[in-house]
Chains A and B, each alone.
Chain A
Amino acid sequence: MTHESPTGRGSSGRNVALVARREYAERVRSRAFVFSTLLMVGLAVVIALIPLAFRVVERATVTPIAVAAPDAELANRTIAILDAFLNASMDGSGDRHRPFTFELVGSPAAAVSAVGDARVAGAVLADRTAGGGLDFRVVTIGGLAQDKLQLLQLGTFSVGVLDWTAANPNTTNPFVPPTFAVVDAGAASAGGGGSAVDTAEYASRRIVGIVFVVLLFLTLVFYGMWVASGVVAEKASRVMELLISAATASQLVAGKILGIGLAGLTQVTLVLVPALAMMVVSGQLGNAMLGEDVTAATSLAGLSPGLVVAFLVYFILGFALYAAMYAGAGSLLSRAEDLQIIALPLSIPAIAGYLPAVLALSGSNAPIIRFASYVPLWSPFVMMARLSIGRVEPWELVLSLGLLLLTVPLVTLLAIRVYRAGVLLYGQPPTVRTFVRAVRGG
């Protein structure tokens, strides 16, 4: 291998900073950066507005509910309270759109039949239990979203309270909370009480997880290609000959990774900050326009500061790992046209990590998924997915980060070795033999 000539030993850091600053300035001033950032900001803001759009669309819809009870008093009380509760105008502004309608039916069978005929979105079947409490079952065939089921559960709880108050004017008997179950008439399965809230939280975590995993995948591959194309451009313009005589290979590789990584982080920040701000603003805007919605905040509920920190850590380490590979591979090319030769092979590890991450986001915690979350090339995606869903033991996180921290310098050293030999090679596209010779310092 070749020697790393001293540059005046203390100047290594300064040279890395100089190279990084040049790379950063060149990237963020380029038209491609400005246009791609504007495009991504636009897209992110549009995506951030989707929950508000859903609320606006939902506002215009009416959900018919059939109600059946063993006695007319309970049936009327249920309808009255659910109507008051579910159609209430939260800000007291008076006349508003009523999202639910209630229809009294004669028997539970008639109510279930109405659900089966799709005349109503769901049926609330009220009954009295032996202990003096109330039992509610909501029958639906996928016609009620989790947020509506959640509202129904809260509404039926109020029915239970009022019914208990009416039946116990002296309040000597203890209050028996009403039971609540959801029966999916299609799947003929019942969910337990309280599951709706967990599911909403889970859905939010999935959304946040998907955003993080997709963002990591795109940025690592996209910014990795920036590194490779930067190296190839320096070779193609032959400025590399001047560079390599002025700074060491390790300074050049480290500076390039740092500069482009910071440019990438700048772009991610420029895209995420307005998107998150828009989500907050649109939530408040929605509340102002459409009234308070107890379920509206859940889109951000899964986003914790810990997850943001984890994203940053995995972005930085993952980018360092992938960028080093892209720098090494790029150094073996001579022309920008040859970049396609490395684009697919280098994206394969990322794709191979993305797939188990998607499985992890769908709730799988199979051994192979857990294993993938420790493997350095895949852990940024898979562990981020698992962290978003929230099924990670502390030791797993330590193992995943530890392996990644060990791998980054090893791969970077290998990449520098390849780079040092590769930047002097011109001519035909690289072969495996060329790569092996470069690794050996040929």
Chain B
Amino acid sequence: MAAAGRAAMLDAQMSLVVDHLSKRFGSVTALDDLAFEVPLGQVFGFLGANGAGKTTTMRIALGVLEPDAGRVTWRGTESHRLPRSTWGYLPEERGLYPRMRVLDQLVFFAGLQGVPTGRAKREAMAWLRRFRAEDLAERRAEQLSKGNQQKVQFIAATLHDPQVLLMDEPFTGLDPVNVMLLREAFLELRDRGRTVVFSTHQMEVAEALCESVAIVDRGRMVVGGSLRDVRRATGRRMVRIAVEGDHRLPWLASLPGTRVIQAGMDRSTVELDVGVEPDEVLAAAVGAGARVRHFEVADPSLEQIFLDFVGHPADEEAHLVPETPSPREEDAA
């Protein structure tokens, strides 16, 4: 037990710890004893609907907001004692100086984080090349598309090579090509030992990228940990099956404790109650004469887990308690 305790303490010293944060804006509770840990050098998904408290948590980590209770630590040091250059922040609300040239902006923001001009220019150009956006360097921000502005902001957040990247909804508004480029960038940063935390309500993106996640709702932690643990936490078991013929799987009616939760021409997903084994589904299919083309024992998707725990889809607005806040408060939350 003592060894386990020491290991836990060591973990906490080596990672980003959101330690029982609470924050109220007037009568609105934005964070309610929120606690989770982000392992060092991982891509971490911070999942929740709009208004769940993701932005507030990030702002507290950055030292821009002060919590009412709790703290955020990185490798054992409280966030407000860390140099700002520890963090790279991509805010949800995107913004650049409209009339300033892209390269000048990148050099300016890197300069604020202590990067010398020459190095900032070189690395900014390298990142622009990587994002297939070299030609943007001399253009003013107001001349860029939203997607390109977002890429520039990502570079601005990354150029000083921070230890932790806090990315608030980084994939929103990006086309599939740019989503792919950004995902590759995330993975490369992780491979370089950086810790990447990003918030999203797009569960499929989180599922594809994250090793660990935290699901928050109304400022409270719902479930968190490694993706595998989170999947198991639901206790749900599924199979995915593809058959020739009726994809609604009418023969399943003979097998109690099963139900089709997603019927598709390609494959259908069947949820199993506790006590029903996956091979019973396969046997029922064969017994009914169905020709099985694909069969797999599957974990529930993040989308399903989110629905199970939160009760509504992630792209639905969270309703903050106990009363509707004013627009100012709502925005801050």
Contacts and interface: CB of A to CB of B under 8 A. Distances in A.
Q: How large is the interface on B (under 10, 10 to 19, 20 to 34, 35 or more residues)?
A: 35 or more
Interface in B91-113: 91-100, 108-109, 111-113
Given A14-B111, A237-B95, A241-B92, 9 more contacts: A2-B63, A5-B62, A7-B112, A234-B95, A242-B95, A245-B64, A245-B89, A246-B112, A428-B328
Contacts of B85: 7-8
Given A239-B97, A426-B331, A428-B327, A2 B65 contact: yes
A424 interface: yes
Given A6-B83, A237-B97, A246 B109 contact: yes
B332 interface: yes
A160 B81 CA distance: 86
B157 interface: yes
Contacts of B87: 245
Nearest to A22: B108
Interface in A386-442: 420, 424-428, 434, 441-442
Contacts of B268: none
A6 B82 contact: yes
Please indicate which of the listed interface residues A237, A240, A242 has the most CB atoms of chain B within 10 Å of its own CB: A242
Interface of A: 1-8, 11, 14-15, 18-19, 22, 26, 234, 237-248, 420, 424-428, 434, 441-442
A15 B85 CA distance: 12
A3 B80 contact: yes
Contacts of B112: 7, 15, 18-19, 243, 246-247
B91 A5 contact: no
B156 interface: yes
Given A7-B83, A245-B91, A427 B66 contact: no
B84 A242 contact: no
Nearest to B63: A5
A6 B114 CA distance: 12
B106 to A, nearest CB: 11
A434 B113 CA distance: 31
A15 B160 CA distance: 14
20 contacts: A2-B63, A2-B64, A3-B80, A5-B80, A7-B84, A8-B85, A11-B114, A18-B112, A22-B100, A26-B97, A234-B97, A239-B95, A241-B91, A242-B153, A245-B87, A245-B89, A248-B84, A424-B59, A424-B65, A426-B328
A424 B332 contact: yes
Contacts of B93: 238, 241
A246 B84 contact: yes
Contact of B109 (A2, A26, A242): A242
Given A11-B114, A22-B108, A1 B95 contact: no
A341 to B, nearest CB: 15
A129 B331 CA distance: 90
Please indicate which of the listed interface residues A241, A424, A427, A442 has the most CB atoms of chain B within 10 Å of its own CB: A241
A196 to B, nearest CB: 57
A241 B89 CA distance: 9
B63 A26 contact: no
Nearest to B142: A237
Nearest to B105: A239
Contacts of B80: 3, 5
A244 B85 CA distance: 12
Contact of B95 (A2, A238, A441): A238
A440 to B, nearest CB: 11
B66 A424 contact: no
Nearest to B112: A246
Given A6-B84, A242-B109, A427 B328 contact: yes
Given A2-B63, A2-B64, A18-B112, A241 B327 contact: no
Contacts of B157: 242
A430 to B, nearest CB: 9
A420 B63 CA distance: 11
Contacts of A424: 59, 64-65, 332
Interface in B209-241: none
B114 A3 contact: no
Given A246-B109, A425-B332, A8 B114 contact: yes
Contacts of A426: 327-328, 331-332
Interface string B107-123: 01101111000000000
Nearest to B58: A245
Given A15-B112, A424-B59, A428-B326, A244 B83 contact: no
Contacts of A6: 81-84
A425 B109 CA distance: 22
B328 A434 contact: yes
Interface string B47-88: 000000000000100111110000000000001111111010
Contacts of B98: 237
A239 B140 CA distance: 14
Contacts of B65: 2, 424
A248 to B, nearest CB: 8
Please indicate which of the listed interface residues A5, A234, A425 has the most CB atoms of chain B within 10 Å of its own CB: A5
A432 to B, nearest CB: 14
Contacts of A425: 328, 331-332
Contacts of B79: 5
Nearest to A237: B95
Contacts of A428: 326-328
Nearest to B325: A427
A8 B83 CA distance: 5
Contacts of A11: 114
A442 B25 CA distance: 8
Contact of A242 (B59, B91, B114, B330): B91
A5 B95 contact: no
Nearest to B328: A427
B238 to A, nearest CB: 40
Nearest to B81: A6
A441 B84 contact: no
Contact of A240 (B66, B95, B114): B95
- Per CB-CB distance, the 10 closest pairs between chain A and chain B, nearest first, are A238-B95, A241-B91, A5-B63, A427-B327, A3-B80, A245-B89, A239-B95, A427-B328, A246-B112, A238-B93
A235 to B, nearest CB: 9
A292 B301 CA distance: 96
B331 A242 contact: no
Given A238-B93, A245-B89, A5 B83 contact: yes
Contact of B94 (A2, A234, A238): A238
Contacts of B100: 22, 26
B158 to A, nearest CB: 12
Nearest to B166: A245
Given A3-B63, A245-B84, A239 B96 contact: yes
Contacts of B156: 242
Nearest to A7: B84
Contacts of A434: 328
Contacts of A441: 66
A420 to B, nearest CB: 8
B143 to A, nearest CB: 14
